Structure 1
Amino acid sequence: MTTQDWEELGGIEYRSLKLLLKIILGYFCGLHLLGVICLAPWIHTAPAKYTNYLEVQAQDKTWWAIYSAQTMVNNLGFTLTPDSMLHFADATWPMLIMTFLAYAGNTFYPIFLRLAIWTMHKCLPRKSSLQEPLRFLLDHPRQCYTLLFPSAPTWILFGILFALNFADVLLIILLDLHNPAVASLAPGPRVLASIFQSASARHTGTATFNLTDVNPAVQFSLLVMMYISIFPIAMSVRMSNTYEEQSLGRYDADSEINDQQGSTSYLMKHMRNQLSFDLWYIFLGTFCICIAE
């Protein structure tokens, strides 16, 4: 069969899947390329504080840029320098770029993927042959890809992730307000380093602070954030389920959660079920003790 025959037989869904494959490959390769393009020129023109440190560690500048970009996107947790990113904690540009790569390559991936598809749909001419498959991807995302959600679950996912990361950053700044391990940085770099630490704690395993020196409550909160890092994605997957069997797994028959309810209703029931577990109250009590101590 020719390509035209396949497209005619498969219809709009087949053409949408073909386009989605190209978009995902472009997204994956584009993130790596963006990281290298942004980091390589910076490290070649960076102050001697950073370049001399790489020379002491016998690391090539260009290779540092390439490796740092892919370790953030791919959630590797490794760096070419022995102190992770502590030496670069006050470097504004790499903190911004590497934080973005950490989010875009991990928990924010469904959000940025839908944003990319929506942007293409809005920017391409109305008579373009890509408009129909793009519209299909936006209207029926879960028929094409597990990690592509409808508009409402995507916005809910964004809200949850923003709240979690904002709380993380706030805890790092406030609980270590007078801690030399954090307060040694100027206010601006301190905020950027805290945002980076919040992102990397759940995604890449890199660090801008020596975590043995930060407040115990911060250590505990980062631990809990790592534990629940998959929850928002898992909730979005179940919230936007389109399968005939009603679920992606097997659940008790008397389960209160119904995937066919509205997004908000499902979210509230899931939160109520979560709050019924004793573990959350044990966490809250331990967290308060850590702050007090």
Structure 2
Amino acid sequence: MSRLRKLLPPLNFITIHYVYFLIVPLISSVVFWGSSNPRASISYVDSLFLVTSAMTEAGLNTVNLSQMTTWQQVLLWLLIIIGSSIWVSIWTVLVRKHAFEARFQEIVRKERKRSLERRSASLTLPPITRRLRTLGRSRTGQDGGDGIPSWEQHPAINLPVISRPSDRRLVSAIVPPQQDSDIRASGSFTHAHSVGVAADVTPASGITDAEERDTGASTATEHIVFADDLRSGARSTSIAPSGTTAQRHLSSTDTAVNPRSYLRGHKVGRNGQFHGLTSEEREELGGTEYRALKLLSIIVPLYFFLWQFLGCISLGAWIANNQPGPALENAISPWWNGIFNGVSAFNNSGMSVLDANMIPYGSSYFVLIIMGLMILAGNTAYPVFLRFILWGSLKLLKWVTYENDLVEWKETLEYILKYPRRVYTNLFPSRQTYWLVFMLFVLNGTDWVAFEVLNLGNSSLEQIPLGSRIIDGLFQALAVRSGGFYVVSIPTLFIGLQVLYVIMMYISVYPVVITMRHSNVYEERSLGIYGEDALYSDSLTRSISRGQSSSKSQSLSRMIRAAFAEWYGVGAAPDQREESRISFISHQIRGQLSHDLWWLVLAVLLIMIIETKHFLEDPVTYSVFNVVFEVVSAYGCVGISIGFPNAAYSFSGGLYPGSKLVLCAVMIRGRHRGLPVALDRAVRLPSDDMHIVEEEDHIRRSMSVRRPSLDDMDI
């Protein structure tokens, strides 16, 4: 069992993602198949294909959606939502936020237990001993002239301090109040000041005021909550001993550590790697990252739901009042048509309840513009839009508030904008975001120009008015990379444009993936730079291979890790030390090609073997190019299809069941090629060894830069 366990993939973000996209389609396919009317009118293979296509946002359909029941359409609509990359990222943020809270609630419980043990030991001392122990402390409190704050002149208050520095600040910065009872722990007020928390202390039952004064040890329990106003200049702590309340105002000189000391330039490495931090600075950093997750857990869901709600309402209202005919001809409500198409556009599915997809709206500027914006907002331009919202929010806060107001919100927004890849997968630094915008214009502009130029002389498009043709070309350019909709029939386009569409569907994920890899905090490990070097091998590889006694099992383990590299967070190249951006991008392209092409070649080969009979009967319809087009569309999770003669569904609808199952596997595999690697900081749960890994990366980078290459050595 131990050897078998070593061959299984580790439990991390990638493997959980795979399980999610395997289990949900299998369950929903049974529900979909059982909901057919008449019963079993849609085969189980088609049911599995449709729910997998909806879940992976591929958008291919083997059956016209207008022939389905309303419940089946709603089921596909729900699967499109819960299969969205933004939806997955929301849960990633929430899980990481909860992991922070759970981790430090455990620290609070441990510290509370230690504090209770210390109090019990103190109460067991004889009265004369307790009085002698508090004598010096009482005299100190009566001095009051040595610069000691006024609140320290009350000898009845003496809170024990949390023992470990790594526990103190993070606990107070992270643990929120419980609904039924507050989290209780002992902590120093200097600590409370440094992180901006309010500690409400009340005496425990059964202890008299005299006993408190005699022992000098507080028998109170401390309720740790977030302060309402966190400012760098002052913090307040309310104390309620013996039924009284006193306000403690702490000056900035009492802070144990500068809250922004971890942002110094000499401690920030490439891609936001912090190195050489003290334990106090690590604590501040952890608290800031938690607050960033807390803010993103609000902003990202609002972005996700508001875009779809407003877009669907506007599309449904416009279609119902201006062009309800196409929906009514398919026995579909115009409102439902707008709502379904809006969700499908934002999540880049490409499915439509209309058999003709978007062709009936080729001259409807409002519909095409709104859906085009939703396609951008939900996928290719999502990192750009989200960063603009955060940047605009920060500028607005600074403009409408004073410098010392809402300091915590401002600092959190600044941290997210400066080090986004430490907290979120699809948010990048400013330089990478500008590069993403540039690629967005280049690729979409190429598709737009190609649509207009490569179709010159095409009789099928010349009958479209010039204005509508320009808008149609723009919409098709936005949809061909990921949207999946088509406003003109794909088979009527010239072959040159069809080949260009194959290329664009394949590279659709490249800009975001390369940007994600380039801005990864653990860039060296994700690229596998140290994978083949024994001196620089990372701890993950050592933990995977530890305990393998035979060279045969080691070889097998290495083969499995190479085949499923993203499970372990190791890239395709074993040794890559070049630092320039051009070499990095070329390395990523080579790695992505080698990682993808064998899947595509294998899928095309299997489908052509299965479809041999169809090819012999109709070699034009079942040509190799049509199969390649469908496979690339499925792998890119785009959804554009050559189509099938005399049918409105995708080319997949005319294939044998075996070919459909192959395409299901291709869609699931393609849905996972744009994900962050398992070592990505933005998808890892907080742990004690994360800062150790970060320090190791910095050391390895420094050593690899100083290390001479073999070409420079005399052999």
2:329 alignment partner in structure 1:
56
> Offset of 1:60 from its aligned partner?
0.8
2:450 alignment partner in structure 1:
171
* One-letter amino acid of the counterpart of residue 367, structure 2: P
Change (3 A) 1:94 1:157: same
- The whole-number CA distance in structure 1 between the counterparts of 2:341 and 2:573 is 45
- The whole-number CA distance in structure 2 between the counterparts of 1:208 and 1:6 is 55
Change (3 A) 1:181 1:267: farther
Query: Aligned runs of 1:158-197 on 2, under 5 Å?
Result: 158-197=437-476
Change (3 A) 1:58 1:167: same
1:270 alignment partner in structure 2:
585
Change (3 A) 1:273 1:28: closer
- The whole-number CA distance in structure 2 between the counterparts of 1:211 and 1:53 is 20
Contact 2:351 2:484 (8 Å CA) reproduced: yes
* One-letter amino acid of the counterpart of residue 575, structure 2: D
> Offset of 1:180 from its aligned partner?
2.6
2:413 alignment partner in structure 1:
134
Contact 1:173 1:191 (8 Å CA) reproduced: yes
In structure 2, list runs of 5 or more residues that go unmatched: 1-174, 178-196, 198-223, 228-282, 527-568, 598-715
1:82 alignment partner in structure 2:
355
Change (3 A) 1:55 1:273: closer
* One-letter amino acid of the counterpart of residue 270, structure 1: I
- The whole-number CA distance in structure 1 between the counterparts of 2:176 and 2:470 is 56
| Residue 43, structure 1, aligned to residue 319, structure 2 | yes
In structure 1, list runs of 5 or more residues that go unmatched: 280-293
2:304 alignment partner in structure 1:
28
Change (3 A) 1:214 1:252: closer
- The whole-number CA distance in structure 2 between the counterparts of 1:32 and 1:231 is 25
- The whole-number CA distance in structure 2 between the counterparts of 1:202 and 1:28 is 20
2:344 alignment partner in structure 1:
71
Determine which of 99, 123, 141 is the counterpart of 2:372. Answer: 99
- The whole-number CA distance in structure 1 between the counterparts of 2:433 and 2:326 is 42
> Offset of 1:115 from its aligned partner?
0.9
Contact 1:7 1:15 (8 Å CA) reproduced: no
Q: After the TM superposition, which of the residue ranges 129-138 and 144-153 deviates more from structure 2?
A: 129-138
* One-letter amino acid of the counterpart of residue 585, structure 2: H
* One-letter amino acid of the counterpart of residue 2, structure 1: P
Per-residue displacement from partner, 1:206-261 (whole Å, max 9, x unpaired)? 100100010101111011000001110111012112127542523434325x4xx4
- The whole-number CA distance in structure 1 between the counterparts of 2:505 and 2:521 is 28
- The whole-number CA distance in structure 1 between the counterparts of 2:482 and 2:588 is 26
Identity of aligned residues (%): 31
Contact 1:181 1:209 (8 Å CA) reproduced: no
> Offset of 1:274 from its aligned partner?
4.8
| Residue 254, structure 1, aligned to residue 555, structure 2 | no
- The whole-number CA distance in structure 2 between the counterparts of 1:206 and 1:37 is 19
Please give the root-mean-square deviation of Cα atoms over the aligned residues, in Å: 2.6
| Residue 2, structure 1, aligned to residue 176, structure 2 | yes
- The whole-number CA distance in structure 1 between the counterparts of 2:498 and 2:488 is 11
> Offset of 1:99 from its aligned partner?
0.6
Aligned pair count reads 271
1:156 alignment partner in structure 2:
435
Contact 2:383 2:433 (8 Å CA) reproduced: yes
Structure 2 SS opposite 1:207: coil
* One-letter amino acid of the counterpart of residue 56, structure 1: E
Could you list the runs of 4 or more consecutive aligned residues of structure 1 that deviate by over 3 angstroms after TM superposition?
Answer: 1-10, 250-254, 271-275
Change (3 A) 1:62 1:112: same
Contact 1:181 1:210 (8 Å CA) reproduced: no
1:233 alignment partner in structure 2:
512
Per-residue displacement from partner, 1:94-131 (whole Å, max 9, x unpaired)? 10000110111011111111111111111123423421
- The whole-number CA distance in structure 1 between the counterparts of 2:351 and 2:589 is 33
Contact 2:315 2:338 (8 Å CA) reproduced: yes
- The whole-number CA distance in structure 1 between the counterparts of 2:351 and 2:571 is 37
- The whole-number CA distance in structure 1 between the counterparts of 2:364 and 2:525 is 48
User: Normalized against structure 1, the TM-score is what?
Assistant: 0.84
Query: Aligned runs of 1:12-23 on 2, under 5 Å?
Result: 12-23=288-299
- The whole-number CA distance in structure 2 between the counterparts of 1:213 and 1:189 is 17
Structure 2 SS opposite 1:146: coil
- The whole-number CA distance in structure 1 between the counterparts of 2:309 and 2:503 is 32
> Offset of 1:36 from its aligned partner?
1.7
Contact 2:448 2:473 (8 Å CA) reproduced: yes
> Offset of 1:268 from its aligned partner?
5.6
> Offset of 1:73 from its aligned partner?
1.0
- The whole-number CA distance in structure 1 between the counterparts of 2:387 and 2:443 is 21
